[in-house]
Every structure is written in C-alpha cells, then in structure tokens.
Structure 1
Amino acid sequence: MAGRIELKTREQMRVMARAGVIVEQALAAAQSACVPGARTLDADSAAARVIAEAGATSNFLGYHGFPATVCISVNDEVVHGIPGDRVLAQGDVVSIDCGAVVEGWHADSARTFIIGDPLSKADVALVSATERALWAGIAALATAERVAEVSAAIEDVADEAGLHPLEGYVGHGIGSAMHMEPDVPNYSVRGRSPRVRPGMCVAIEPMLVIGTPDSATLNDEWTVVSLDGSRAAHWEHSIAVHDDGIWVLTAADGGAARLATHGIVPVAP
C-alpha cells in the first residue's frame, strides 16, 4: 500500500486483465441487445450470461443493494440507471456500465452509443467527445507524475467540445475492490493530487453533459439525471500502471489501437 492506495503486483494485474476482457465481452453483448423495441432488462440479461459463462461474477449486482448486473442510463440519465421494462427507441443515447470479478480482482468499464440512426448531430458530438476525453485521460496517465494531469486532460477535451463534466462524480482506484483510492476527477481540483506510481490501477471515467453540470438522483435512489434534462455520455476503462508502462485492462489490445494516435504503446503487465 502507498498511503491508502493499493499497489498491485504484475500477477494481480494480469488477473484484473482477465476480468477486464470479460467486461469488454459483456458490454459488447449488452450493446448488441440494445435495438429499437428491446427493454433495458434484455441488455442486462445479455451481459449477465457472458459473465456467468466465463466463470466470473458481477461486481455491480448487490453492490450497496444495486439490483442488476449492469447500469443502463438513457438520454438524460447520466449514470447508475437500473435496467427494467423501459423500451429503447431509435436515437436513444445509451450508456452501459459493467464490472466483473475474477479471483477477487475487479475490472470496470463503460461505453455510450446511439441506437439506430442518430436524431441529433449534438448527440453524435457528445458521444464522440466523451470517448476522446477518456483516451486523452488514459494517454496522460502514461506519462503523468500526478493524477491531476489526467483530470486536466479530460477537462481540456470537454472544454474544447463545449461540454461539462458532471459535478460530484469521479473516476476511482480499482483492484481488490471496485471503488478505492485515489479519486480521479474529470475536472481540475485544488490541492495536491496523488502521485502516479507503478502498481496503481485506476478507472478513468469521464461523464459529460451537453447542458448544466448539475444533477439529481431519482426516487429509485440510484439513477442520476442531468438537472436540466440534457443528454449525457459516459465512457470508462480500467488501467494498470507498472514499471514498463500502462495497460488498459478492459480492452483486449490493452488500448493499443486508440493510444497509437497519442504516440503511446501499451505494455502488458
């Protein structure tokens, strides 16, 4: 441990990478199930099957009482949406957040997509910019001395796109638990931020909205919505930092394809 930050061995990171690939596959299955006329519960069931067949467990199901395998948030729902009987329609902006546990080690990832043909250029720009912000943050982590450099990289993309990070919601450390130190904000914060050290694993997750950065939680005590009803996007990957570089644990290629545009070559732990 470094203070309150858990430092992993390479072997532990490799187990997390196994969990990460399962998460990637579960997200793909859930996304494939999101077609016009489908229920959000159908996507949850698709992800649950992938996780179970891989011999892993969901780290979302039962977490503080959360009742599903994945979080599915639609349109103005930013994060933590509960899958159910909601019927999806063409043009919906859908965010799915998923996690899995293998041998006690966690991985966590999220993606946002539009069902069918987009109904708004603003929605396309929102989803694309939020994904760019994620990869800018990951690229910054590769050379960062402190976590604040990751936050600044995310904020720069958001500012350039005219979007706003959701206030009060941040990325996090991950490892033997899903949520750990350090926090990874999506915007600059005052004060000295944690040092980036080999053995650190973090989940970077920009949550950007078109309108106000303020939010509210619905009566289900989980679903977070934008206060002004504007649409939102959420992208996330879990990343390991080790002596030889970084590795995106929730991408089968370690993030190689997307990091290439930043001049970074990920190295497996």
Structure 2
Amino acid sequence: MVSIKSKEEIKKMKIAGEVLGQALQFLKKMIQPGINCQKLDEEFLKFITERNCQSNFYGYYDYPAHICISINEQLIHGIPQNRVLRNGDLVSIDTGCIYEGYHADAAITVICGDYVNPLHKKLVEDTQKSLQLAIEQVRAGVRIGTISATVQKFIEENGFQLPTDFAGHGIGTSMHEDPLIPNTGIPNTGMRLQAGMTICIEPMVQISTSKTITASDGWTVSSADNSMAAHFEHTILVTEEGCEILTLLKD
C-alpha cells in the first residue's frame, strides 16, 4: 500500500536524508587508491551514529554490512570485503539510514583515483544524468511509466543496457514500500504520483548487457559479461509543483 507522509513524517525523512547525503559525500572523498572497503563500512556507521541515525542495511534479510560496495562489473549488493581499491576502479556505494523510524536510501558511483577510462566515465555520467532527467519528471499527477521511460530512453539512446530484474521503490517506515519504480516503461502508464509520496529512483546500468549473475554469497549482482556497471539513487519527496531531493550530497 502506498503511504502519503504527514508533515511530521516528512520532517523525519528529511533529517534521515540530510544525514545520508552528508555521509555519502564523506565516503566519496575517502574513495582513493589504497582505501580498504571495510574501512569505508566502518566510517559510514560511525558517521551516521554520531548524528543519531541507525543503519538500515545491516541485518536486512541478514545482510552482513552497513553499506553495499559494488566494484567494476559488480552492479549492486556487493559486500564490503578486505579489499583495497585501485586506481581506475568504478566504485558504487548504495546505503541508507534511519532517523526515528524513517528511512532514507541513496547510491553513487565514483571513479577511484586519477585514471579515467573514457567509456567508464561516460557510463557513470550517463547513469547519473538519467537519474537527473527522471527526477525532473516528478510531480503530483505524473504516472510512474513516464519516469521509467525517461530513464530507459536516455540510457538506450546512449548505447548502454538496463537490467530489468531490479527497480526503484517507495520508502518510509520501511526501506522498501510500494510503489515499484522500474527503469524501463511506457510514458503515461502506471500509477499517478501524489503529493506526500516518498520514492527512490535508482538507475542501474551496464555497458554491454542487460543480463546479470548473482555470486555464491547470495548478494553480489554483477553483469553477466563482466562489463562495467554504475548505479545512482536518490530519495525524493513528491510535491504538487515538482519534488524535493532528500538525499543531496552535502559537505
């Protein structure tokens, strides 16, 4: 069931979103060659705990960490390992937090270090741009299919691939709520957004295949052909006139 948030609920979600945006900006600056992935997980937990928030990833369906770190061909749900990042790695961090029972969820992809492969750079930039274009469509009365089609059109026009097994979602007192927000769709179809809804839009993009495989750990999803992947996500409040991004990255 889709929930419409009250002013008090929105206030709590804004706090969760602000802390999460700050935390992701903090981690983004830490993503340099030589950093250990487990260190990023530890620092994230410390950051949000100091700001009166809790992790919503740890223990979720028994997930064993506080952030997902997916590297290179890994698309989503990578578990932080005792692994050191290298120059040129594509590093996707997907994570969230809870403030007084209300959730925020967001993801970024960062190229580690100063080595930049032009195709990988375009993948990251186009994935982020597709999210921005989708967010520009959000306002009360718009149908979900229009948001989904916006992502699909831009990504496919730029020659990349969209896995269809994963999607965005509603969010509130649970990390995943109705409605589902796919990354492919038909304009002017599906549920109409209402003011007070809170949703997560999250393009997940691969270079040369839409197919994925899941590792033996039961979590890490990678491209089936080992091509690079990128992932961006924001938690968004729907308003009558447009929307408000609750998880903006801030210093």
Shift of 1:134: 0.5
Q: Which amino acid aligns with 1:222?
A: W
Structure 1: distance between partners of 2:5 and 2:29: 33
Structure 1: 5+ residue runs without aligned partners?
254-269
Q: Which of 233, 246, 251 is the aligned partner of 2:248?
A: 251
The number of equivalent residue pairs is 250
Give CA deviations for 1:161-195 in whole Å, capped at 9, x if unaligned. Answer: 11111221000000110001100000116995111
Counterpart residue number, 1:266? none
Counterpart residue number, 1:34? 31
What SS class does the counterpart of residue 109 from structure 1 fall into? Answer: strand
Give CA deviations for 1:22-63 in whole Å, capped at 9, x if unaligned. Answer: 111111222222211111111111211111100100110110
What SS class does the counterpart of residue 137 from structure 2 fall into? Answer: helix
Moved more, 190-199 or 91-100: 190-199
> After TM superposition, where is structure 1 displaced by more than 6 Å over at least 4 residues in a row?
none
Counterpart residue number, 1:264? none
Q: Which amino acid aligns with 1:110?
A: A
After superposition, residues 107-146 of structure 1 pair within 5 angstroms as 107-142=104-139, 145-146=142-143
Q: Is the 8 A contact 2:147 2:187 kept in 1?
A: no
Q: How much identity, in percent, do the aligned residues show?
A: 38
After superposition, residues 70-89 of structure 1 pair within 5 angstroms as 70-89=67-86
Counterpart residue number, 1:44? 41
Q: Which amino acid aligns with 1:232?
A: A
Report the RMSD for the aligned CA atoms in angstroms. Answer: 1.7
Moved more, 188-197 or 56-65: 188-197
Structure 2: 5+ residue runs without aligned partners?
none
Q: Which gives a bigger RCO, structure 1 or 2 (Cα 8 Å, sep 6+)?
A: 2
**TM-score computed with the length of structure 1 as normaliser:** 0.89
After superposition, residues 1-269 of structure 1 pair within 5 angstroms as 4-142=1-139, 145-188=142-185, 192-251=189-248
Q: Is the 8 A contact 1:34 1:40 kept in 2?
A: no
Q: Is the 8 A contact 1:33 1:42 kept in 2?
A: no
**TM-score computed with the length of structure 2 as normaliser:** 0.95
